[in-house]
Chain A
């Protein structure tokens, strides 16, 4: 399969491997980053892998319509809004606790 990927012109398989890799990297980042901004960036990767998937399936499965592409534009718009809200929360959080280390956000445990 690796050989096939390396020798052939880019097809749906290449794009799907790419989005899977992007999603895996994003998930890894979400689970391991200690800085909240880093977590947010990793979330962006995961979201964009999803958006790219929409485009890929639009292109290869139903090329007549543009539904998948419109959906990916939605995802980008929502992601932008989410980043704004997320960053605003981090600013407030930093003012209160002088840190944005997510491992220290465990007050609710006790």
Chain B
């Protein structure tokens, strides 16, 4: 490195070490002594990593301007060596998007930790909660800073495991247990694809590594995204079924990303994951872990752009998910489920922004990261606001709330800001990023995706305003809502901080340093036509929601639901995707695959083992009856045997 690194970048390992050591300390030593101390230490540790991440970001920003935002690995050590050019390092990779994610993850994580101190106060398992939260933060940071595919995969599984533990935090509730298992199994199924993709990339990467020389390892991102290597990988040509090897590998990798980011049809786990504590939903299932899939695609974006076809898959699945989830969100009554479907929809936004990007039109890459950045803040704010409301009303149903505007002024104000931000109203953060995503879709000539994006922007504004009006306007509909009062200050501080971020994040000049390719450096300004269209869609959605739900009553909503009839029911039942999954898994896979295998296992495999055991037992019983306890009987056997032996030896002579 020809440039002088600052303290934070020279000691980049601390970004992983702080939360990991805190996880061990809190989980093993502090938690048995004091649950409260465990929470406080965990929170302090995450704040420390946030401070460290800011220091890294500051150094990178000053350094980056000089080096042209070069990607580099300031710290790493060798972990596994399979072959000469196939070693796996544990390390910290620094480039604009990893720094961006570091800042987002540590910021949201520290605010969620702080919020949880208030939200989880007095709950059983307080210390356990913070232990897992710390583990999650460590894993997520490890994922974000991974310099190669395998470290990413390991941390990928670790975030999945900590997510599993936190969704099932209330493990005495059967629904929470079911939800955690569902999340784990669905994402694990997707990760099978990811692993296969890694193996294919690693295999061919290793071959290419032999051809091109150099010192980089086959799994390294810096190796895989090298132009020469990408060209060689792309030239390998057809693999299975006539699909080029590179496209196949990337589609498999994307399958992992789609599972983690809950893209259709692997989205089913995310709404159920809302069984976890609300701050967990804010951190893991809104701001950080679920964007790992987007991050993965962004990390391998040069490869995806080389393949082209794989990127189209990403784009169309993203666009479909955005629309699909947005429509479902309009009919759900559980405030957290609406937010979960909203998250799906926004993740679809980020995915299709990546999908429409290409080497010629790389704006989508910047737009996707920008939307990821702003979305993390306002979606975390929405979840934490929802948590504050749930904390006060003791219910998730929006129809059991109402009139909370005066009783919870801070929550109301911050929730309103977040709603406006996600609806894409100027000057809130969502306006800028959504505008950029739409501009990217239009600019690259994907008019269909642009249309879907605009439509989804309107629907998003509608369903977000729906829950906003239903929860905060009108009169209190239940006892719980009428006796609600504002949450403690420790919960309000994160809300206010996130609200400020949701306002100012949009002005962050992200195009200055998160960009792809040279020569397209000019940061994208606001395109008035697109901005007007987006804002119009947002205002229309809000207006429609106000007309239906603004009064606080449910009469108009019910009338509308009746008017739509069957269509409404289908959407409300989430297009029966869960039922379809149950049908496929229970009726087809269980009956025709699992049941015969289980029979074979029980009858043939176990049967064989049991048979030999039974044979041995019978033989033992038969021999046991000879043991009479009569020494003279034994003597007779002995004498008879001796005589027999003599006769045999005699006969053999």
Interface residues of A (CB under 8 A from B): 27, 30-32, 102-103, 105-110
- B632 and A106 within 8 A (CB): no
**Interface-centre pick from A30, A31, A108, A109 (highest chain B CB count, 10 A):** A31
In the complex, 16 of the A-B residue pairs with CB atoms within 8 angstroms, ordered by the A residue number, are A27-B639, A30-B632, A30-B635, A31-B632, A31-B639, A32-B632, A102-B632, A103-B632, A105-B631, A106-B628, A106-B629, A106-B630, A107-B629, A108-B629, A109-B627, A109-B629
Interface class of chain A by DSSP: helix
Find the A residue at minimum CB distance from B639. A27
Docked CA distance A34–B628 (Å) = 15
Known: A106-B629, A109-B629. 12 other contacts (CB 8 A): A27-B639, A30-B632, A30-B635, A31-B632, A31-B636, A32-B632, A102-B632, A105-B631, A106-B630, A107-B629, A108-B629, A109-B627
Q: Which of A30, A32, A102, A109 contacts B628 (CB 8 A)?
A: A109
Instruction: Kindly list chain B residues whose C-beta atoms are within 8 Å of the C-beta of A103.
Output: 630, 632
- Of all chain B residues, the one with the shortest Cβ separation from A39 is B632
Residues in A neighbouring B639, C-beta threshold 8 A: 27, 31
State in angstroms the CA–CA spacing of A75 and B557 once bound together: 115
Are A102 and B627 neighbours in the complex by a CB distance under 8 Å?
no
Residues of B participating in the A interface, judged by any CB pair closer than 8 Å = 627-632, 635-636, 639
Shortest Cβ distance from A22 into chain B, in angstroms? Answer: 15
Residues of B within 8 Å of A108, CB to CB, are 629
Nearest A residue to B642, CB-CB:
A27
Cα distance A107–B631 in the bound complex, in angstroms:
11
CA distance A106 to B628 in the complex (A): 8
| Chain B residues closer than 8 Å to A102, beta-carbon distance | 631-632
Chain B at the A interface: mostly helix, strand, loop or mixed?
helix
User: Which residues on A sit within 8 Å (CB–CB) of B636?
Assistant: 31
Q: Which of B628, B632, B635, B639 has the most CB of A within 10 A?
A: B632
Which chain B residues border A106 with CB–CB below 8 Å? 628-630
Q: Which of A103, A107, A110 has the most CB of B within 10 A?
A: A103
Contact partners of A27 in chain B: CB under 8 A = 639
Which chain B residues lie closer than 8 Å to A110 at the CB level?
Answer: 629
Which residues on the A side are within 8 Å of B627 (C-beta)? 109
CB-CB under 8 A from B629, the residues of chain A are 106-110
| Whole-angstrom CA separation of A110 from B628 in the bound complex | 9
CB distance from A35 to the nearest CB of B (A): 12
Q: How far is the CA of A30 from the CA of B638 in the complex (A)?
A: 12
Write the nearest CB–CB distance from B25 to chain A, whole angstroms: 59
Chain A residues within 8 Å of B628, by CB: 106, 109
* Residue from B628, B629, B635 whose CB has the most chain A CB atoms within 10 Å: B629
**How many Å lie between the Cα of A11 and that of B635 in the bound state?**
33
- CB-based nearest B residue for A30: B635
- C-alpha spacing A21/B417, complex, angstroms: 116
Q: How far is the CB of A14 from chain B (nearest CB, A)?
A: 22
Chain B nearest CB: distance from A21 CB in Å? Answer: 15
Leading 6 A-B pairs by shortest Cβ distance: A109-B629, A106-B629, A31-B636, A31-B635, A31-B632, A103-B630
Q: How far is the CA of A106 from the CA of B631 in the complex (A)?
A: 8
Q: Report Cα–Cα, A110/B624, bound state, in Å.
A: 12
CB-based nearest B residue for A106 = B629
Chain A residues within an 8 Å CB radius of B632: 30-32, 102-103
Which residues of B are found within 8 Å of A109, using beta-carbon distances? 627-629
A31→B628 CA distance, assembly (Å): 14
Closest to B638 in A: A31
Q: Chain B's nearest CB lies how many Å from the CB of A109?
A: 3
Chain B, residue nearest A108 (CB): B629
**Closest chain A residue, CB of each to CB of B627:** A109
**A32-B635 Cα distance, complex, nearest whole Å:** 10
Q: Write the nearest CB–CB distance from A25 to chain B, whole angstroms.
A: 13
Bound together, the chains give a CA A7 to CA B48 distance in angstroms of 117
Instruction: Output the least CB separation between A102 and chain B (Å).
Output: 6
Q: How far does the alpha carbon of A103 sit from the alpha carbon of B634 in the complex, in Å?
A: 12
> Which residues in A have their C-beta under 8 angstroms from that of B635?
30-31
Residues of A contacting B631 in the complex (Cβ-Cβ under 8 angstroms): 102, 105
What is the minimal beta-carbon distance from A64 to any residue of chain B, in angstroms?
32
Chain B residues with Cβ below 8 Å from A31 are: 632, 635-636, 639
Report Cα–Cα, A27/B635, bound state, in Å: 9
Residues in A with CB closer than 8 Å to B630 are 103, 106
Closest residue of B by beta carbon distance from A34: B632
> What's the Cα separation between A103 and B632 when bound, in Å?
8
What residues of chain B lie closer than 8 Å to A107, measured between beta carbons? 629
Assembly CA distance A30 to B628 (angstroms): 17
Q: Report the separation of the CA atoms of residues A102 and B633 in the bound assembly, to the nearest whole angstrom.
A: 11
Q: Smallest distance from the beta carbon of B627 to chain A beta carbons, Å? A: 7
Nearest-neighbour CB distance to chain B for A34, whole angstroms, equals 8
Give Cα A109–Cα B631 distance, bound, in whole angstroms.
10
B239 to nearest A CB, angstroms? 72
Nearest CB of chain B from residue A104's CB, rounded to whole Å: 10
Q: A30–B632 Cα gap in the complex (Å)?
A: 7
Chain A proximity of B644: nearest CB distance (Å) = 15
**CA–CA, A107 and B629, complex, Å:** 8
> What is the chain B residue whose CB lies nearest that of A105?
B631
Q: What distance in Å separates the Cβ of A97 from its nearest Cβ neighbour in chain B? A: 15
Q: How far is the CA of A31 from the CA of B639 in the complex (A)?
A: 9
* B102 vs chain A, min Cβ distance (A): 74
Question: How many Å lie between the Cα of A6 and that of B630 in the bound state?
Answer: 41
Chain A: minimal CB distance from B238 (Å)? 77
* Shortest Cβ gap from B321 to chain A (Å): 74
CB proximity of A73 to chain B, nearest CB, Å? 28
Complex CA–CA separation, A31 to B636 (angstroms): 6
Q: In the complex, how many angstroms separate the beta carbon of A46 from the nearest chain B beta carbon?
A: 11
In angstroms, Cα B630 to Cα A30, docked, is: 12
CA distance A64 to B241 in the complex (A): 101
Distance, CA A32 to CA B628, complexed state (A): 15
A57 and B337 CA atoms in complex are apart in Å by 105
Q: How far is the CA of A64 from the CA of B639 in the complex (A)?
A: 36
